[in-house]
Amino acid sequence: MTKTIFKVDGMNCMHCVGKVESVLTDQTGVEKVKVNLKKGEAKVKYDESAVTTDQLIENIKTVGYTATAK
Determine how many CB atoms are found less than 10 A away from the CB of residue 2: 14
User: For 23-46, what is each residue's pLDDT tens digit?
Assistant: 999 999 999 999 999 999 999 999
Single out the residue of 18, 16, 50 nearest to residue 31, CA to CA. Answer: 50
Q: Which residues are within 8 A (CB) of 54 and not within 5 positions of it... i.e. 6 or more apart?
A: none
Q: Looking at the whole model, is its pTM more than 0.85?
A: yes
Domain that holds residue 50: 2-69
- Predicted pLDDT of residue 17: 98
Contact 68, 7 (CB under 8 A): yes
Say how many domains are in the chain.
1
Residue 11 confidence class, pLDDT cut points 50, 70, 90:
very high
Percent of the chain with pLDDT over 70: 100
- Which CATH number characterizes residue 16's domain? 3.30.70.100
